[in-house]
Amino acid sequence: MAKQTYFEIEHYLFERLPIYQNQGKAAFKPGLERIVALLKVLGNPHKKIKSVHIAGTNGKGSTANMLASVFQEQGYKTGLYTSPHLVSYRERIRINGQMIEKDFIISFVEQLKPSIEKINPSFFEITAAMAFAYFYDQKVDYAIIETGLGGRLDSTNVITPFLSVITNIGFDHMAILGDTIEKIAFEKAGIIKKNVPVVIGREQPEALNVFKEKSSSQNAKMHMGFDYAKKLPALELKGAYQQENLKTVLTSLEVLQEKGVNFDQFNIEKGLLNISKNTHFKGRFHLLEKSKHFLLDTAHNKDALSKVFKQVDTLDFQELHLVIGIVNDKDVASILQLLPKKGHYYLCAPNVIRALPVETLHDQSKDLLNIQGTYKTVKAAIKAAEKKATKNDLIYIGGSTFVVADAYAHYFNHTAD
């Protein structure tokens, strides 16, 4: 049989396997038995790599990329596993900022296909197994692993890391994780392992009680990132909300140093200033210029959006134009209440099955927002906003990770790197 092309392999992954990115809850397969079975076939590579494990409602991607950048500047060969991707599937798995090689993906899927057909894993499970296999194959020094959804039953929760990190708890994916802070915290606390220290990013009494109970039962020492009191170094990422993540990262680095992982202050500061260069991270309060001023941010729940729009208010612009799309499993009413009332709105639907139909979004928001039009694609909505905006205006693009992804890929023509 002829070797399959990368395009054919990627098509197989997206079409054969249930993917949460497209299908939402229907694609979520609770339990770790499938990922465990896959990894056993592969020789359990996850047990042979040193890792840092990160969970949280918001900020885990930023935290993961900050840490990876610092590790790289220190000279460590650093694996980084994050999700979802914005432009290319290969973004999810990187070593020192470079995306996983296409040939590895082809060989991995072809060799594992009989087991895939037998075990019937989800898209995320096969991707997590691929990441562990790639990091072991390429002999990384450390791997920074971001959970996909939750923690306790997340496919990444088969590792025993050097350090666990929980950034914060907010209301998102409630149909799966629970409808209270305590229930969601319980799921995130599932990454806390026996005798492995854990850093907690935000002070939330309801969540802290859950974390303390879990940490005590696992003899896992808790460290409070929100208590970090030293002077904060400069950070490349411009979102004001990143200061909370920065404290979490700096606390994590101190704990890692206590465990024998070496960092010097120069490389820490350099890593925090070179995140986009080192890891190709974007989509978080990303200001860029084309013919007009654009701001892209992947914030998509109440906690994240409230922080983003608070900072938008501090920017210097005349009129605000907002290209907004939402996916159908979000609390739309809460999101709509957070959107600036003085903005001009261009409603759209991102190119995923989970997208809230733009007609539905219009019906739910027509009495709240100054709607300029509805558009079937993100690209069309951005074009309309750009046409109406003046050079002194700001065009905000967001509401969903997938709106930002569409903007990068189809309007700004960004590649993954």
From residue 283, how far is each of 61, 286, 405 by CA, in Å? 10, 6, 8
Query: What pLDDT, on a 0 to 100 scale, did the predictor assign at position 107?
Result: 96
- pLDDT(318) > 50: yes
Query: What pLDDT, on a 0 to 100 scale, did the predictor assign at position 62?
Result: 96
Query: What pLDDT, on a 0 to 100 scale, did the predictor assign at position 2?
Result: 62
Confidence of residue 223 (pLDDT cuts 50, 70, 90): very high
Rounded-to-5 percentages of helix, strand, coil across the chain: 45, 15, 40
Domain boundary among 279, 305, 325: 279
- pLDDT(163) > 70: yes
Residues 302 and 270 in one domain: no
- pLDDT(23) > 60: no
Residue 350 lies in a domain: yes
Q: 10 Å Cβ neighbour count for 13? A: 18
- pLDDT(38) > 90: yes
Residue 26 lies in a domain: yes
Average pLDDT, the chain: 92
Domain boundary among 279, 303, 320: 279
CATH number where 135 lies: 3.40.1190.10
- pLDDT(20) > 60: no
Residues 306 and 270 in one domain: no
Residues 16 and 154 in one domain: yes
Residues 275 and 311 in one domain: no
Give the C-alpha separation, 54 to 85, whole Å. 17
Confidence of residue 417 (pLDDT cuts 50, 70, 90): low
Residues 132 and 243 in one domain: yes
Tell me which residue of 45, 83, 85, 87 sits closest to 64, measured CA to CA: 83
Query: What pLDDT, on a 0 to 100 scale, did the predictor assign at position 354?
Result: 86
Tokens of 261: 């992982």
Q: pLDDT (tens digit, 9 = 90+) per residue, 393-416?
A: 999 999 999 999 999 999 998 776
Residues 129 and 20 in one domain: yes
- The tally of domains found in the chain comes to 2
Give yes or no for a contact between 4 and 102, defined as CB atoms under 8 angstroms apart.
no
Domain boundary among 218, 245, 279: 279
- pLDDT(297) > 80: yes
Domain assignment of residue 201, given as a range: 6-279
Residues 158 and 233 in one domain: yes
Residue 415 lies in a domain: no
Residue 378 lies in a domain: yes
Longest dimension (CA), the chain: 61
Residues 108 and 206 in one domain: yes
Q: 10 Å Cβ neighbour count for 204? A: 18
Q: What percent of the chain has pLDDT over 90?
A: 81
CATH number where 375 lies: 3.90.190.20
More confident residue, 213 or 300: 213
Residues 106 and 195 in one domain: yes
Tokens of 203: 């002070």
Place of tokens 């997208």: 355
Residue 112 lies in a domain: yes
Q: pLDDT (tens digit, 9 = 90+) per residue, 171-207?
A: 654 455 656 888 999 999 999 999 999 999 999 898 9
User: In the β-sheet with 51-55, what is the strand arrangement from edge to edge?
Assistant: 98-99, 93-95, 78-81, 142-146, 51-55, 163-166, 198-200, 222-224
Residues 273 and 296 in one domain: no
Residue 227 CB-density burial (10 A; 0-12 exposed, 13-18 middle, 19+ buried) = exposed
Residue 416 lies in a domain: no
Q: pLDDT (tens digit, 9 = 90+) per residue, 250-267?
A: 999 999 999 999 999 999
Query: What pLDDT, on a 0 to 100 scale, did the predictor assign at position 26?
Result: 47
Residues 105 and 38 in one domain: yes
Confidence of residue 24 (pLDDT cuts 50, 70, 90): very low
Residues 195 and 271 in one domain: yes
Residue 1 lies in a domain: no
Residue 417 lies in a domain: no
Q: What percent of the chain has pLDDT over 70?
A: 94
Q: pLDDT (tens digit, 9 = 90+) per residue, 324-383?
A: 999 988 889 989 999 999 999 999 999 988 899 999 999 999 999 999 999 999 999 999
- For 125-143, what is the mean pLDDT? 97
Strand partners for 95: 79, 98
